[in-house]
């Protein structure tokens, strides 16, 4: 990678330090969590959606822009530092075996998202201003997309760009790791009250308290704990082999048709005879109302059971990801309880099951690319963590 070019100050930084970013946003009503990054010379702030389901980081860009969507900040003015077409970063963004260079001096990219949105542009390098937990401030030069043609997806909201946190070499954490600046470990803690934090590096959490499971080699494109079995109220449903991925770019969670119908049947069975009735609410496909509007999940918690996805993590041991009512319900603006789990087969996800933001709230979720494991642990996401190495 870039190890030959590391300066001694970069090597010193390897001794366990992390970068922590505050997050803004919520599952409902915003529908996204974003981070503020300072990019460019001089640095300017941009709001980026955090997305563990894709690799490339890009900004809406004045190159000039052919088609940009509404953005909170002025368009990014690209640096003149183009990434060449033969750069490995460029090749990693092209479909396999389809790496053609129309112009050897530049790297064109196009990314498409599951919600139908896309970005087309050119790869540039620019300075990112980063504060490390050991007190250092560094300005590494990193590759990002200058997006001059964006199509909005279903989940349209104003954004300056996307922070790709996937496993590929073009993701910002991968680039930082190849420059020797942090371990290739990403984590996030999304607060149910809104906000939270994102971190790069491995000295923010106590590994012994985390439930770990190996990253799947079968679903290798995404962060996947492999194939799950659906457990409802502690009992197996018989629904197994559910290919599952974590995606912080998705507000809600998705089950394939079979698992979704199975879960719906069990939830509705539990609700029969309870003082809740189905109601139509524009917020989500399935909502329930009570005798009077609900103010919080606490008002309905007693009527809903916990379910879980259970993953076999090497050999016979199983790691469970539990979904309490807080991890699958929202209270809509009308005071109804709505199911934040949707039928993924209906929106084009095929057989894939997606764990979205709603189901990752109030826990730290960690993607350790060094050890190829994914972990989760209940956490207070309202307080920014200090690095373990310099906390008392």
Give tens-digit pLDDT for 25-54: 999 999 999 999 999 999 999 999 999 999
Report the pLDDT value the prediction gives residue 389, as an integer from 0 to 100.
54
C-alpha 295: how far from its chain's center?
28
Q: Which residue has the tokens 């985390």?
A: 210
Report the pLDDT value the prediction gives residue 156, as an integer from 0 to 100.
78
> Which one is catalytic: 49, 51, 55, 357?
51
Least confident of 100-104, 126-130, 193-197, 366-370: 100-104
What does the DSSP 8-state code read for residue 205? Answer: S
Among candidates 336, 381, 79, 49, which has minimal Cα distance to 204?
381
Q: Is pLDDT at 180 greater than 90 in this prediction?
A: yes
Q: Can you tell me the mean pLDDT for 114-126?
A: 95
Among candidates 179, 224, 159, 263, which has minimal Cα distance to 365?
224
Q: pTM here?
A: 0.93
Buried b (16+ CB within 10 A) or exposed e, 28-63: beebbbbbebebbeeebebbbbbbbbbbbbbbbbeb
> Taking a C-beta distance cutoff of 8 angstroms, is the pair 297, 221 a contact?
no
> Taking a C-beta distance cutoff of 8 angstroms, is the pair 141, 126 a contact?
yes
> Taking a C-beta distance cutoff of 8 angstroms, is the pair 18, 201 a contact?
yes
Per the annotation, the verdict on 281 as an active-site residue is no
Report the pLDDT value the prediction gives residue 10, as an integer from 0 to 100.
45
pLDDT band (50, 70, 90) for residue 254:
very high
CA atoms within 13 A on the CB side of 112: 4
What is the C-alpha separation between 351 and 242, in angstroms, rounded?
8
Buried b (16+ CB within 10 A) or exposed e, 152-178: eeebeeebbbbbbbbbebbbbbbbbbb
What does the DSSP 8-state code read for residue 347? Answer: G
Q: Is pLDDT at 202 greater than 50 in this prediction?
A: yes
Report the pLDDT value the prediction gives residue 295, as an integer from 0 to 100.
97
Q: Can you tell me the mean pLDDT for 191-213?
A: 96
Q: Is pLDDT at 267 greater than 70 in this prediction?
A: yes
Beta-bridge mates of residue 32: 26
What is the C-alpha separation between 93 and 108, in angstroms, rounded?
9
> Which one is catalytic: 49, 160, 247, 362?
247
Q: Is pLDDT at 300 greater than 90 in this prediction?
A: yes
Beta-bridge mates of residue 309: 230, 321
Per the annotation, the verdict on 233 as an active-site residue is no
Q: Can you tell me the mean pLDDT for 374-391?
A: 83
> Taking a C-beta distance cutoff of 8 angstroms, is the pair 75, 147 a contact?
no
Report the pLDDT value the prediction gives residue 3, as an integer from 0 to 100.
31
Report the pLDDT value the prediction gives residue 1, as an integer from 0 to 100.
31
């Amino acid at each position: 990678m870039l190890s030959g070019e590391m300066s001694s100050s970069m090597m010193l930084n390897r001794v366990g330090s992390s970068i922590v970013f505050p997050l803004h946003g919520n599952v409902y009503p915003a529908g996204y969590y974003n981070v503020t990054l300072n990019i460019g010379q001089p640095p300017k702030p941009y709001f980026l959606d955090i997305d563990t389901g894709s690799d490339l980081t890009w900004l809406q860009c004045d190159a000039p822009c052919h088609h940009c969507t509404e953005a909170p900040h002025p368009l990014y003015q690209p640096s003149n530092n183009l990434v060449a077409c033969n750069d490995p970063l460029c090749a990693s963004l092209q479909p396999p075996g389809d790496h053609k260079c129309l112009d050897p001096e530049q790297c064109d990219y196009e990314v498409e998202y599951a919600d139908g949105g896309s970005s087309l542009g050119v790869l540039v390098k620019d300075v990112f201003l980063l504060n490390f937990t050991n007190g250092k401030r560094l300005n590494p030069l990193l590759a990002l997309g200058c997006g001059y043609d964006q199509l909005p997806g279903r989940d349209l909201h104003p954004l300056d760009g996307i922070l790709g946190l996937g496993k590929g070499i073009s993701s910002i954490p991968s680039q930082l790791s190849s420059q020797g600046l942090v371990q290739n470990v990403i984590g996030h803690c999304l607060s149910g009250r809104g906000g939270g934090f994102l971190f790069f590096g491995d000295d923010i959490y106590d590994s012994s308290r985390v439930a770990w499971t190996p990253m799947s080699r079968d679903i290798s494109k995404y962060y996947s704990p492999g194939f799950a079995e659906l457990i409802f109220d502690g009992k197996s449903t018989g629904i197994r082999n559910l290919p599952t991925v974590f995606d912080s770019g998705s507000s809600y969670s998705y089950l394939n048709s079979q698992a979704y119908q199975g879960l719906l049947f069990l939830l509705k069975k539990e609700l029969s005879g309870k003082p809740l009735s189905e109601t139509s609410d524009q917020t989500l496909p399935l909502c329930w109302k009570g005798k009077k509007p609900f103010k919080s999940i606490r008002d309905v918690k007693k009527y809903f059971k916990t379910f879980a996805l259970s993953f076999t993590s090497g050999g016979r041991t199983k790691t469970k990801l539990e979904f309490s009512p807080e991890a699958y319900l929202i209270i809509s603006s009308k005071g109804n309880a709505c199911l934040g789990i949707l039928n993924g087969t209906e929106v084009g996800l095929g057989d894939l099951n997606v764990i979205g933001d709603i189901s990752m709230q109030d826990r730290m979720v960690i993607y350790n690319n060094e050890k190829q494991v994914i972990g989760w642990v209940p956490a207070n996401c309202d307080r920014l963590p200090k690095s373990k190495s310099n906390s008392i």
